[in-house]
């Protein structure tokens, strides 16, 4: 599976997002009304204020605080280099990320878990909001599906099936991919950012997901896992 892809022309990525404001009462009144209208069907019995902790899921109400990327290295000894772009200034980190992609081949393949549904469109939307031109690898407007160089490890697992979301944690478990026990999960990122001010901790969590996705991609290809000693965190 996936033998047609050059592993060294694939960049694995993951993003972490949070609500744009620390609490609902900090949200401008007109955006409070828009949030209420946007989420009315998802909230069930919850109020718009109580539901705001999940605002990071929506690109209109959230922001990116970390993008971690990984590229495959080595030959006979496969490796992985992981780098993160993070900060409180979303525009600055997106510019840095766009600059990285601008220096890569236009046909570079981007890979993420649930990337087609979340990571790729979220990055594109936030770049538009911040007035940043899409790099060629994210410019999908007008392209046919087979012309878009994006891989999604969750979509690949479906094999055309349309069942519900399959988590990265579940897939790493069934493929026997060792992952360190994390002290946070995705639902806690907003709180760790706004309440604990621990961006570096979130970055570490994001990097682990990149490593896990890269290892899953190798399992899909029937290849051995990359040894821990061959995984390098840059910067």
Domains identified in the chain and CATH numbers: 7-20+61-234 (3.30.420.10)
∠ CA 131-133-137, rounded to 5°: 140
Q: Does residue 22 surpass a pLDDT of 70? A: yes
Section 14-27 average pLDDT: 97
Q: Across the strands, what pairs with 66?
A: 16, 86
At 73-87, the pLDDT tens digits run: 987 789 999 999 999
C-alpha to C-alpha distance for 235 and 232, rounded to whole angstroms:
10
pLDDT tens-digit map of 138-152: 998 888 887 889 999
Q: Is the pLDDT of residue 233 over 90?
A: yes
pLDDT tens by residue, 95-134:
999 999 999 999 999 999 999 999 999 999 999 999 999 9
Q: What does the pLDDT read at residue 53?
A: 94
Query: Using one digit for the tens of pLDDT, what is the confidence trace for 28-41?
Result: 999 999 999 999 99
Q: What is the rounded average pLDDT for all residues in the chain?
A: 93
Residue 2 predicted with pLDDT over 90: no
pLDDT at 44 over 90: no
Which pLDDT value is given to residue 181?
Answer: 63
């Amino acid at each position: 599976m996936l033998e047609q892809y050059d592993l060294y022309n694939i960049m694995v990525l993951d993003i972490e997002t949070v609500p744009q404001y620390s609490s609902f009462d900090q949200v401008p009144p007109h955006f409070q009304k828009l949030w209420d209208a946007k989420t009315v069907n998802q909230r069930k019995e919850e109020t718009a204020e109580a539901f705001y902790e999940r605002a990071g899921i929506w690109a209109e109400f959230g922001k990116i605080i970390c993008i971690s990327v990984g590229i495959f290295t080595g030959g006979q000894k496969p490796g992985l280099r992981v780098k993160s772009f993070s900060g409180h200034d979303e525009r600055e980190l997106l510019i840095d990320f766009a600059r990285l992609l601008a220096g890569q081949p236009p046909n570079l393949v981007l890979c993420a878990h649930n990337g087609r549904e979340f990571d790729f469109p979220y990055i594109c939307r936030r770049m538009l909001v911040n007035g940043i031109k899409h790099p060629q690898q994210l410019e999908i407007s007008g392209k046919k599906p087979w012309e878009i160089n994006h891989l999604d490890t969750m979509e690949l697992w479906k094999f055309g099936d349309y069942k519900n979301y399959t988590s990265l944690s579940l897939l790493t478990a069934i493929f026997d991919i060792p992952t360190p026990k994390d002290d946070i999960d995705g639902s806690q990122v907003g709180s760790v950012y706004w309440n604990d001010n621990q961006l570096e901790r979130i970055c570490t969590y994001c990097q682990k997901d990149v490593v896990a996705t890269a290892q899953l991609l190798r399992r899909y290809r029937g290849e051995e896992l990359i040894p821990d000693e061959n995984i390098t965190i840059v910067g």
